[in-house]
């Protein structure tokens, strides 16, 4: 069977726990360097201290004794490097693309900031204010607020209760937690939590030599976060967001779903149901959006997570009077997969589209490294992608029905609406 991720790769583990994944590609001249830290909002287990994984996405660009922020930017600019970072629930990823001849210099400056970050108090406070501004900007988007409230309503215990931005009260208090920021960095920015991905014009032997040279002395940490398990939900939960200005109403329907697995069928089945039932090719989309025109946005949301997360569907409704009807139709579609077997022909079509869409996206070194990063954070190895797509291939209509009955109980459902009260 042809592998969906066809690239040869090498995995090397240093004694300190750091993992290097080297993926030589046929795309000449460029290298993508992705550094994956297994620290996201999932790791923010202490009350009052959410949002720090995302904060460090900002702080990591604030320099060291050796390289000031200005000097760091100058080095990257001279190399023509395109660089950025992002935070998710289970990971923080720092990434850059540059000419292959600059790999050693990039490896050096990245190693320095991961091991020797030094942010003075005044810059720390500046970044915490920037994060507050980012939160406020996001909170002005109805969908962002809807997702935030849905998570807060659906979870009671697990840190997935808050988004990667964190709770607003915690963000407002961040300027007072400089000492805790040092502790957070010391806990999580350690080699055993970190994987370096190098994809492009690069050879394993030379890359490994660089990693030993610049990262080999990085001291291993001892801290392990105790992530509280979410108790079973035994009754439907409901929430409402009263939006202060005129806007089209939204409804979000969410069920407690499975954790990521590349071997068990639960997570792949939820992915397939999301597409079967709620994508643009689904019967519900064609009815609500195209024929009845009661909805202008219908979107399934189910992301891979280390721990059990949510299977969500959101809809933006044109007329507030149709909000209940749309909610009922979404719930009925979930119920339908419990009652009736999915069309085998449609299921195979969805699986084929998913498979070849992923394969076609791997068209440059950066895309390859970017595709690897989430799976590396979850399992530590590229081969997880091939196992996952093999599992997708094994899911049949009976699996879809059985797993729909396992997860889509009303008592495990959370429904949140967002609307403007015109009174």
Residues 162 and 76 in one domain: yes
* Consecutive 10-residue averages of pLDDT for the chain (423 residues): 89 98 94 97 96 96 94 93 96 97 96 96 95 94 97 98 97 97 97 98 96 98 94 97 96 98 97 97 97 97 97 97 98 97 96 94 96 97 96 97 98 97 66
Q: Is residue 232 part of a domain?
A: no
Tell whether 17 and 111 lie within a shared domain. Answer: yes
SS3 12: strand
Q: Is 312 exposed, middle or buried (0-12, 13-18, 19+ CB in 10 A)?
A: buried
Shared domain check, 243 and 337? yes
Tell me the residue range of the domain where 205 lies. 10-215
Q: If we measure between CA atoms, which residue out of 116, 115, 93 comes closest to residue 32?
A: 93
Q: What is the pLDDT of residue 422?
A: 63
Q: Please give the tally of structural domains in the chain.
A: 2
Residues 180 and 288 in one domain: no
For 175-271, strand residue ranges (E) read 194-200, 237-243, 250-256
Contact 108, 214 (CB under 8 A): yes
- 319 and 268 in a single domain? The answer is yes
Dump the DSSP string for 59-114: HTTS-BSSS-HHHHHHHHHHTT-EEEEEE-SS-EEEEEEEEGGGHHHHHHHHHHHH
Q: What is residue 336's DSSP assignment?
A: H
Distance CA 143, CA 367 (A): 27
Two tokens at 53? 């994984």
User: What CA–CA distance (Å, rounded) separates 242 from 420?
Assistant: 6
Cα 317 to Cα 275: distance, rounded to the nearest angstrom: 20
Task: Count CB neighbours of 52 within 10 A.
Answer: 26
The answer to whether residue 4 is domain-embedded is no
Q: Do 284 and 211 belong to one domain?
A: no
215, 247, 266 - which closes a domain = 215
The predicted structure's pLDDT at residue 2: 76
Q: What is the CATH number of the domain that holds 242?
A: 3.30.830.10
**What HEC string does 264-312 produce?**
CCHHHHHHHHHHHHHCCCCHHHHHHHHHCCCEEEEEEECCCCCCCCEEE
269/321 same-domain check: yes
Strands 295-301 and 413-420: unpaired
For CA atoms 304, 310, 311, 315, the dihedral sign is negative
Same structural domain, 197 and 287: no
Task: Give a yes or no: residue 357 inside a domain.
Answer: yes
In a domain, 413, yes or no: yes
Judgement on whether residues 318 and 415 belong to the same structural domain of the protein:
yes
Q: What is the pTM of this model?
A: 0.95
Residues 266, 202 within the same domain:
no
Statement to judge: residues 178 and 68 lie in one domain:
yes
Contact 75, 105 (CB under 8 A): yes
Do 169 and 25 share a structural domain? yes
């Amino acid at each position: 069977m042809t592998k969906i991720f066809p690239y040869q790769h090498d995995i090397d583990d240093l004694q300190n726990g750091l993992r290097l994944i080297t993926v030589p590609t046929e795309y000449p001249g460029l290298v993508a360097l992705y550094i994956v830290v297994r620290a996201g909002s999932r790791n923010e287990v202490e009350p009052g201290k959410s949002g720090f994984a995302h904060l460090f996405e900002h702080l990591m660009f604030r320099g060291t004794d050796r390289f000031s922020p200005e000097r760091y930017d100058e080095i990257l600019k001279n190399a023509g490097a395109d660089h950025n970072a992002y935070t998710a629930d289970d990971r923080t990823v720092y990434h850059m693309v540059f000419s292959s001849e600059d790999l050693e210099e990039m490896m050096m400056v990245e190693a320095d900031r991961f091991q020797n970050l030094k942010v003075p108090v005044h810059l720390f406070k500046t970044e915490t204010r920037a994060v507050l501004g980012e939160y406020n900007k996001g909170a002005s988007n109805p969908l962002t607020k809807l997702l935030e409230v849905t998570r807060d309503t659906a979870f009671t215990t697990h840190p997935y209760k808050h988004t990667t931005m964190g709770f607003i009260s915690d963000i407002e208090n961040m300027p007072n937690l400089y000492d805790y920021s040092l502790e957070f960095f010391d806990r999580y920015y350690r080699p055993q939590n970190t994987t370096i991905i190098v994809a492009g014009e690069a050879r394993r032997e030379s890359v490994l030599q660089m990693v030993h040279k610049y990262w080999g002395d990085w001291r291993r940490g001892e801290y392990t976060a105790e992530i509280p398990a979410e108790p079973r939900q035994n009754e439907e939960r409901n929430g409402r967001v009263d939006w202060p200005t005129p806007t089209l109403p939204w409804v979000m329907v969410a069920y407690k779903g499975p954790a990521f697995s590349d071997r068990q069928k639960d997570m792949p089945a939820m992915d397939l149901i999301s597409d079967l039932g709620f994508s643009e090719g689904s019967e519900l989309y064609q009815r609500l959006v195209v024929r009845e025109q009661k909805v202008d946005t219908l979107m399934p949301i189910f992301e891979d997570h280390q721990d059990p997360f949510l299977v969500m569907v959101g809809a933006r409704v044109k007329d507030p009077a149709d909000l209940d009807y749309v909610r009922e139709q979404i719930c009925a579609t979930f119920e339908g997969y419990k009652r009736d077997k999915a069309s085998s022909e449609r299921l195979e079509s969805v699986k084929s589209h998913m498979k070849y869409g992923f394969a076609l996206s791997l068209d440059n070194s950066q895309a390859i490294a970017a595709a690897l990063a989430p799976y590396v954070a979850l399992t530590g190895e590229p081969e997880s992608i091939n196992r996952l797509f093999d599992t997708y291939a094994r899911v049949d209509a009976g699996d879809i029905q059985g797993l729909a009955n396992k997860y889509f109980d009303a008592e495990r459902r959370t429904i949140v609406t967002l609307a403007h009260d015109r009174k």
